[in-house]
Structure 1
Amino acid sequence: MGVQSKEIVENFYISLFKDEKGALDNYLHPNVNLSWYGTTGFKKLDFDKILELRDNLGKSFESLKAEVEKIVEEDNQIAIHFTYHVKTIENPDEEMPLAHFMAIWELKDNKLLKGVQISQLGEEIDGSPWT
């Protein structure tokens, strides 16, 4: 899988909210399945539910960007640790952390097929936990 697989996972999270035409088609396998353990409970997401989530969050924030902390690959699994930062519509001049994430993905045909993701509400953290 190599560097290309890590780039696919990283680029998915970086571009998820950029509303690029066909962005999800570029990264998600049609049979994608994401199990997400979050602060609001457990969610099981398929392609359409990921698209719906992306569209809803895109309407809620002025901007949303991913800051990737670490990406690791072993066999056919890629793990990523990142934080989403947002600028709200009410305060577009201030960027703040929305949530911290850890995810592990399996790819098929160079697209994300099966993932498990854990998130926690964001908070300011001094420095990277990896330094």
Structure 2
Amino acid sequence: MSTSAKELLKGLYESDFFNDPTVLKKYLHQDAELYWNASTGFSKMTYDDISNMSKEMGKSFISLRSSISHLISEGNTASIRLTYYIKTVENPDEEVGIIHFMAMWELKDGLLYRGYQISQPSDEDPLNIDAHIRIKS
């Protein structure tokens, strides 16, 4: 049984890729491309770029938890909206919201292949905290 786009997307963003970048092989196509619009600007990332970024994240984060509010799919494409919460090496007793994401990914050969992602730093505005609108997937 093949994994759906929705299952792959949820799996990637809930995985511990920051502790073990080899986890990415389970979700991302070797030729994956990520087109990322962030508050710092635009970047196009390859599989290797994503893997290297994951390794760097693992040096600072003790934990990374995603709170998914939206997860939808149609055919070979899935979209997700989430907030990441982290505990850092410097402050292991406090979990803080770090970033909001919206992403769409297309599949190729049963793996996530081409992604379009938008992110911005998280905030404490109660209207932006997604726990109350969490959608069961």
What's the TM-score once normalised by structure 2's chain length? 0.86
| One-letter amino acid of the structure 1 residue matched with residue 29 of structure 2 | H
C-alpha distance in 2 between matches for 1:64 and 1:34: 20
C-alpha distance in 1 between matches for 2:123 and 2:60: 19
Deviation per CA, 1:64-100, whole angstroms, max 9, x where unpaired?
A: 1211111011232100001110112121111001100
Q: Any unmatched runs of 5+ in structure 1?
A: none
Taking every aligned residue pair, what percent have the same amino acid on both sides? 41
Structure 2 counterpart SS, 1:52? helix
- Confirm whether residue 70 of structure 1 aligns to residue 88 of structure 2: no
Structure 1 counterpart SS, 2:52? helix
| One-letter amino acid of the structure 2 residue matched with residue 19 of structure 1 | D
2:89 paired residue number? 89
Q: Any unmatched runs of 5+ in structure 2?
A: none
Q: CA RMSD in A?
A: 1.9
C-alpha distance in 2 between matches for 1:68 and 1:57: 20
**Deviating 4+ runs (over 4 angstroms):** none
- In the TM superposition, 1:28-67 aligns within 5 A as 28-67=28-67
C-alpha distance in 2 between matches for 1:75 and 1:110: 12
Contact 1:61 1:89 in 2 (8 A): yes
Structure 2 counterpart SS, 1:17? coil
Deviation per CA, 1:24-77, whole angstroms, max 9, x where unpaired?
A: 111110110000000111110001000011011111122112111110112321
1:24 paired residue number? 24
Give 1:17 deviation, angstroms.
2.2
**Across the two proteins, how many residue pairs are aligned to each other?**
129
Structure 2 counterpart SS, 1:7? helix
| One-letter amino acid of the structure 2 residue matched with residue 17 of structure 1 | F
Give 1:3 deviation, angstroms.
7.3
1:119 paired residue number? 119
C-alpha distance in 1 between matches for 2:78 and 2:20: 24
1:7 paired residue number? 7
Structure 2 counterpart SS, 1:65? strand
